[in-house]
Amino acid sequence: MIKLITYNRANHDFDMFLDGAYLGSRDRHIEAEVELDRVAFEALAHDAGPVELAVEGALERLACDNGQHAATAETKDDRAYFRRAATSFGNALIEYKAGVRPELLASGAWLLPSRRPGEAPHIVRMDGDWICSCKAGASMHWPIALIVGIEVANDDMERFDDGDVEEEDGPIIHLVLVRPARPLGRRLADARARLYTEAA
């Protein structure tokens, strides 16, 4: 699937194409990017169980939310932060739909394959916040985004569980994450506080 956004100088807007088909235009690049990702994700939809759908839904929602925050951000640094997060969640969704699943290591860290042949795998561990073994470290990129998306999906499934599972249906299936983590909102607030402290 080929996604393309071009700047239309005549109209001063951004045209969106998916596999060569024109989808429309948006006033801002980030709006076109979010819309194009949404359409591409819908096109990639496939039959999946409730756990997979919860993870895919959480990743898509996080990508869209961060894209919208980037579109309304007041500073250049905030726009860059939210664009990177939106791209990371989008890439995590693509990898998840392609079958990539984190593997829990004995240390409690998560192992994910590298997207580039010959490179070491990503080992994502919790150290106050999620940190990856690759050169991106604690910066948002798809392995960290995937783990965060799975956490959010797990929280969503627990929060919105209507409790109608009958005993003969068996136990409720929990997502990949088995150890409790700090709530996403708390981790984001702490990360932003660290960034603002470092910038000051």
pLDDT in tens, 181-192: 455 566 666 666
Measured CA to CA, the distance from residue 77 to residue 120 in angstroms comes to 30
End-to-end Cα distance, the chain: 43
The pLDDT assigned to 160 comes to 73
Which residue do the tokens 């169980």 mark? 49
* Nearest to 126, CA basis, from 177, 176, 173: 177
The pLDDT assigned to 3 comes to 81
Q: Give the residues across from 26 on adjacent strands.
A: 14
Measured CA to CA, the distance from residue 144 to residue 35 in angstroms comes to 23
The pLDDT assigned to 190 comes to 67
CB neighbourhood size of 71 (10 A)? 19
Radius of gyration over every alpha carbon of the chain, rounded to an integer in angstroms? 18
The DSSP element (H or E) to which 26 belongs, if any, is strand 21-26
Measured CA to CA, the distance from residue 148 to residue 59 in angstroms comes to 8
The pLDDT assigned to 38 comes to 77
- pLDDT exceeds 90 at position 173: no
pLDDT tens sequence across 94-148:
999 888 889 888 888 999 998 888 889 999 999 888 999 999 999 999 999 999 9
The pLDDT assigned to 40 comes to 74
**Nearest 5 degrees, angle CA 169-CA 170-CA 171?**
130
pLDDT tens sequence across 39-98:
776 665 544 567 888 899 899 999 999 999 999 999 999 999 999 999 999 999 999 988
* Nearest to 120, CA basis, from 128, 110, 112: 112
At 130, the amino acid letter reads W
The pLDDT assigned to 175 comes to 42
- Give the list of residues 6+ apart from residue 23 with CB closer than 8 angstroms, or none: 16, 17, 35, 36, 39
Letter string b/e over residues 5-32, b meaning 16 or more CB atoms within 10 A of that residue's CB: beeeeeeebbbbeeeeeebebbeeebbb
